[in-house]
Structure 1
Amino acid sequence: MVKLNDETRAAYNRDLLELLQEGEDTAFRLKFLDLHPVDQMEVVQQMKEENRNRFYEIMSAKEIADIFEELNLEEQKDMVLEWENKDMSDIFNYMNADDVADFLGELEEKEREEILTGMDTEEAEDVKELLTYEEETAGSIMTKESIHLHETEKVGDVLNRLRNEAPDAEMIYYLYVVDESEKLAGVVSLRDLLVASLEEKVGNVMSRRVVSVHVNEDQEDVARLIQKYDFLAAPVVSANNQLLGIVTVDDVIDVLEEEATEDLAEFATTRGTTDVNLSAFTAAKRRAPWIILLMFLGMITAGIIGQFEETLEQVVLLSAFIPMLMGSAGNVGTQSLAVVVRSLALGNYEKKGLLWALIRELGTGLVIGFACALTLIILIPFLYGGDLLLAFIVGFSIFLSLGVAAVIGSVVPLIINRLKLDPAIASGPFITTFIDVVSITIYFSMATMLLQFL
């Protein structure tokens, strides 16, 4: 298989395109099929539409299926529109059932039924089963292309089965064993089978200490389990422990990427707008509600400053430190939010406890606040005419504000998590706006109390 780097990719693609345009079908196929499916996908994406139409004519349904699986959903939809002379159902027969289910799940019911009707009965039934499971569960991401063994099978018979069935299986390094009722009984590795006697029964070779996931378990929990145990796959079982399929590590990588993208979007209030294919108008329409809401919340800050108008009139210099105070408190709060949200995602705080988390973040905020306060108490008199009291007000305000900001940044996602909601919705802009209100209140309250000494 050819491995391309940045220097050879362009030249290789150019050669492929020339062969395709000159009608050298056999030479093109040999050169093209020597690439990894991911590289094949990139070559097809760079073709013009007329060249892709020619490409579809000379490639088999199975070869197109391998490329189709590497595309994202929007790219898959675009490719399907170009398949004028290809039977979609035939192509989907060669794909993994979970990949077909992911694509069909985005179609209208009528289109979905047309494709399923044209597929092989067994393949279609697997896809239909996967479509019945709720999104973001183990059932929705599991694959049915797995080899199940029985306890009573002989090792020699299993190895013969693998020679025939392995090419169509998603993964063969772990093989899951079922009993006569099709319930999960154990797991055996390919290595164990290779070193065992051919006459030995699988039940005597397998391990009964098998970790499984329920079909309705959240996909993020499944990903954590596979990550925790360094599995290549995990079996998916029903309520009565019947083996339904497996979740493989490549599916888990997709889940982790999806969840990380979702958390980042929640964190920045950009959920639903991370797709670069969205138009500027669509992205703005989805982001605007949050921005407008935060704008109104920001007006609360303006209202609080208005309440301390007399204080500002007497000591105008206080206004010079408002951006610094709000920005520093917002930054510390956002840092605490990021730390807590990530720790919740990894399950770290379950070991330490809620109180430990709050004390740690409060301590972190106060230490940072003390360092900032000390710096300001030294610099402000030097820069603003030796006013030590002003320096003390600003320094002590930032000390308190950063400590409070750290607590707010950690408490809010913890509360949301206790409510069984995604803690990432305690977004950075929302937390920052809330902290702005608190820090300004602390700042001007202190200044007002000490106004007579300024």
Structure 2
Amino acid sequence: MKDLKMKQTGDMMNELRFHLASNEMKQFLSAFLSLHASDQAAFFLELSEKNRGKVLHSLYPHEFVGVFQEFGWEDRRLAVTYLDSEYVVEMLNMMVPVEAAAFLKSVTRRKSLSLLNAMNPEARAHIERIMKYPVNSSGSLMHTEFLTANIIDTVDLVLKKLSLTSGDHNYHHLYVIDGDRCLIGTVSIHQLLRAESNATMEKLMYSNVISIQDKADQTQAANLIKKYNLLELPVTDQEGIIIGIIKVDDVIELMEERMSLSIESFAALKSGISLASGTIRLVSQRLPWLVGLTVLGFLMTKIMAPYLASLEQFTTLALFIPVILGMSGNSGIQSLSVALRRISMSSVSGKDSWLLLGKETCIGALTGFVCGLFAFVLSNLLLNSSPMISSVIGLALFIAIFFGTITGAILPLIVKHLRIDPAIASGPVLTTLTDIVALLIYYSVATLLIPLATT
């Protein structure tokens, strides 16, 4: 069944490409608008710049807004370059406020104010309420449309109010409030529909409410939703008044976005995975890192050149350079991945930072010792190396793995202390650093130990 669905989707995409290439826009729009918004977005991002413009100029704002909300932030900013301000304003008026607020925060302040001033007052009020919160706060992630009922309301009265609500929102819970609008309980919609018509919310509600304050970190909200398996998490202000809800879908999107950003930073990229980005743009993002690291590598090679003269008579050592460099880099990547995960999942500071570093230090020492011992034995058994050469290889591998593990753990902690995104401790930087130091360690150990075998 799944294969059939994929085949049908593929056939539809081919049909869309044919209509677009043939300039049959009526047939194209009919087929395009029949797709799910996620499929529309995927198709749009595959198009050339010329065809993207053609599609956009054929769609009304209410037809494109769903597609727009499926884009990542970088793709949204690029899509807006094809549109005039009136078109964008119409879309923002129809967008979910939390999505519109996030988009407006991603553009320049001047552009944001211009768009806000042109919006209708009601939509603007919802968006500005969300935009006042810091980017990483729970308030910036909340939806302002939710259902409330007074503690003394009956089921019959609540259902009548519910029938008058507008929009196509998918509500899961009703939030019970007191006379001061403070959150005191929740009632599931399923429970509400099954209850007796004269039952009050006080009788039906679950009073042990899991909620979060609007200024709390988004990571804390995500942890609560995960821990208690929630579909919605109510958001309150400092007085306990409910002001919004965070949906599990938004948390999943947030985690996916953060993971994407971490992967991009880990690879020394900045918005470099966007499908809408051109080749020149991607090259300009990656090249400075690679050029800088190449220059650093050559500088360190010059520094290490004096070691080579003393090792020329032991050419066997050159065979093991890839092993030393590879294992140092691998241990560093493992340690960096663990540190980034710990930092992204919880707040790591003070004592926790030292515990993390201490644990990775122990791991580096143990894994380095075991791998160094294996290297000593294998170089003897497989390559018939002398005991001294095997000792050089084993000791150098131990120190290189130990250094790589510590470096991978400490880099994100340092940049976090400097209030920089920890993911900036990227793969290329770590790999280059561990390669250079591992090679320096290898040559230093060989220079120190080999003369002992010749005396």
TM-score bin (small chain): 0.7 to 0.9
Q: In 1, Cα distance between the equivalents of 2:370 and 2:317? A: 20
With 307-316 and 11-20 compared, the bigger mean Cα shift is at 11-20
Q: In 2, Cα distance between the equivalents of 1:313 and 1:192? A: 81
8 A Cα contact 1:238 1:244, kept in partner? yes
Aligned amino acid, residue 6 of structure 2: D
With 90-99 and 259-268 compared, the bigger mean Cα shift is at 90-99
Q: In 1, Cα distance between the equivalents of 2:425 and 2:161? A: 52
Alignment partner of 2:438: what SS?
helix
Q: In 2, Cα distance between the equivalents of 1:384 and 1:172? A: 69
Matches within 5 A, 1:120-269: 120-165=120-165, 167-169=167-169, 171-269=170-268
Q: In 2, Cα distance between the equivalents of 1:380 and 1:53? A: 64
Alignment partner of 1:175: what SS?
strand
Question: Is 1:96 aligned to residue 96 of structure 2?
Answer: yes
Structure 1 pair 245–195 and aligned structure 2 pair: CA distance change class (3 A): same
Q: In 2, Cα distance between the equivalents of 1:44 and 1:359? A: 49
Shift of residue 265 of structure 1?
Answer: 2.0
* Cα displacement string for residues 91-120 of structure 1 (whole angstroms, at most 9, x for unaligned residues): 443321122223333455665556545544
Q: In 2, Cα distance between the equivalents of 1:437 and 1:411? A: 17
Q: In 2, Cα distance between the equivalents of 1:138 and 1:206? A: 25
8 A Cα contact 1:96 1:145, kept in partner? no
* Cα displacement string for residues 299-345 of structure 1 (whole angstroms, at most 9, x for unaligned residues): 46425523434532443433332332122111111111112221332
Shift of residue 453 of structure 1?
Answer: 0.6
Q: In 2, Cα distance between the equivalents of 1:44 and 1:71? A: 10
8 A Cα contact 1:381 1:387, kept in partner? yes
Aligned amino acid, residue 59 of structure 2: Y
8 A Cα contact 2:78 2:276, kept in partner? no
With 326-335 and 412-421 compared, the bigger mean Cα shift is at 412-421
* Residue 6 (structure 1) aligns with: 6
Shift of residue 270 of structure 1?
Answer: 1.6
Question: Is 1:282 aligned to residue 285 of structure 2?
Answer: no
Shift of residue 255 of structure 1?
Answer: 0.7
* Residue 429 (structure 1) aligns with: 428
Q: Aligned residue pairs: how many?
A: 445
With 233-242 and 368-377 compared, the bigger mean Cα shift is at 368-377
Structure 1 pair 82–216 and aligned structure 2 pair: CA distance change class (3 A): same
Aligned amino acid, residue 307 of structure 2: F
Shift of residue 385 of structure 1?
Answer: 5.2
8 A Cα contact 2:93 2:120, kept in partner? yes
Structure 1 pair 262–386 and aligned structure 2 pair: CA distance change class (3 A): closer
* Cα displacement string for residues 359-387 of structure 1 (whole angstroms, at most 9, x for unaligned residues): 54345434443443344334434565542
Q: In 1, Cα distance between the equivalents of 2:247 and 2:212? A: 12
Aligned amino acid, residue 71 of structure 2: L
* Ranges in structure 1 where 5+ consecutive residues have no aligned partner: none
Shift of residue 185 of structure 1?
Answer: 2.5
Structure 1 pair 406–114 and aligned structure 2 pair: CA distance change class (3 A): closer
Structure 1 pair 82–379 and aligned structure 2 pair: CA distance change class (3 A): closer
Structure 1 pair 128–345 and aligned structure 2 pair: CA distance change class (3 A): closer
Question: Is 1:388 aligned to residue 391 of structure 2?
Answer: no
* Residue 365 (structure 1) aligns with: 364
* Residue 36 (structure 1) aligns with: 36
Structure 1 pair 287–218 and aligned structure 2 pair: CA distance change class (3 A): farther
Please tell me the root mean square deviation across aligned C-alpha atoms, in Å: 3.9
